[in-house]
Structure 1
């Protein structure tokens, strides 16, 4: 008598398109989380989300909007402008992922202009392959407090001004790891859980500790922790400096997100 051979379950592979959608969703969730703590203002429309920080109206990085579909963007553009104008903000941005030609044309007609450069979108499905654990011990931090000066020194103060109202508190959505030397935090970063995806934010290394692979070790710890919590993917936006680090960790290049900026008045 022959026994039936059990078929192996098919592993779900997270596609690049799905990772891009997860990245947008995680950023929006992270920004909404910040707004709930008092760091940002939030406008929520069907398929369109805008964030503003009136205390720093000239800091473009803090005035940004994300959309789910071309129809949502087109319907929400007038409300978007009213939102920023009402709070005294005269410049804001809409980051566009690759392949959004129709959205580019729509924004161009509405007075937006394409900026030079952009931000690398990256993602990793944990089914892509085994993760390498960190080779040195990482410290689990209870709050984001020490990440703020670390990021400000590494990338400029505008990168972390939105964290000031709530940086010293603990939140279960945030998982923070770092490395100290001489009692000082020299590298660190965090993940923000939204659904089954971990978004990576605020990874930075002090200037005096660069070139030693410490950011790689922190990333290994963040990714492995996320997988152990049951997340299925990790996503992030990378600077040009961090791109090579993330690629060596197996993260996929999801293309360059380019800012389209509206300057009003």
Structure 2
């Protein structure tokens, strides 16, 4: 298969991310992903999801009037839900949109790296891991988030891997499949097991499984610390995602 161009990989990754948030929202009281022209806003009014998933993905290369309408719609969606803390996600290349957010008083809070790949470019063999049962609560414990996170979601919709080391659960990751794409999320390793390659291994295992299930591409958002690990697996750099928050 010819590798998709970067713009296509970015679009696929964004579509998978939004589909994942919609799956989360189905099991969270009052939650929804609102899609407007130029923006999709994930609204989670109650905890613990409220502190994690209130994010909006803004479109790229919007015209000035479209940018204004998208930002107005985003702000109204969160204001209606009583949410004052949320993040507006912008691709680093979109200087005009960044300037519009700054004029409204938003400040840059965090950055991640959008990455994507054709699964034909997977560079590592299927890892041989000591796997635990893919228990949702244990998965959350390993990645060190509240164990009641997404308690009402359909956990069968996600592909979870939990790897063991020295008779204890040490690393975990999750995938969500949307169309031909596999989104990789929440890769985590317990402190005592870090720098042993487990994060890369659980990611690679999910990618091999996705390819076996007929997926053709994969996507994720990488922290600065993990970018080189994913690049070694075969992911390509698609640009930084800048997360702006209201002042």
**TM class by shorter-chain length?**
0.7 to 0.9
Matched, 1:191 2:171: no
Q: Does the CA contact (< 8 Å) of 1:147 and 1:202 recur in 2? A: no
- Cα shift at 1:235: 0.6
39-48 or 214-223, larger mean C-alpha shift: 39-48
> Residue 58 of structure 2 is aligned with which of 63, 67, 84?
67
Greater Rg by CA:
1
Distance of aligned partners of 1:130 and 1:213 in 2 relative to their CA distance in 1, 3 Å threshold: closer
Query: Is 1:55 matched with 2:46?
Result: yes
Structure 1: 5+ residue runs without aligned partners?
1-10
* Structural mapping, 1:26-45, within 5 Å: 26-38=16-28, 40-45=31-36
- 3-state SS in 2 of match to 1:118: strand
Is residue 144 from structure 1 mapped to residue 132 from structure 2 by the alignment? Answer: no
Count of aligned pairs between the two proteins: 243
Note the alpha carbon deviations across 1:188-235, whole angstroms, 9 max, x for none. Answer: 111100110000011111111112111222112111111111111111
Contact 2:58 2:90 (C-alpha < 8 Å) held by counterparts: no
CA distance in 1: counterparts of 2:18 and 2:131, whole angstroms: 28
TM-score by length of structure 2 reads: 0.86
Question: Residue deviations 1:112-168, cap 9 Å, x none?
Answer: 2333x4111111112335541103354562x4321212222xxxx47x8642333xx
Q: Which runs of 5+ in 2 are unaligned?
A: none
Match of 1:165 in 2: 152
Q: 1:129 to 1:86 in 2, by over 3 A?
A: closer
Q: Which residue in 2 is equivalent to 1:207?
A: 191
Q: Look up the match of 1:174.
A: 158
Q: Which residue of 1 aligns with 2:103?
A: 109
- Asked if residue 226 in structure 1 is aligned to residue 210 in structure 2, the reply is yes
1:45 Cα deviation from its structure 2 partner: 2.0
Partners of 1:47 and 1:229 in 2: CA distance: 32
Equivalent residue, structure 1, for 2:71: 77
Evaluate the alpha carbon distance shift between residue 22 and residue 87 of structure 1 in structure 2; reply closer, same or farther with a 3 A threshold. Answer: same
Q: TM-score, normalised by structure 1?
A: 0.81
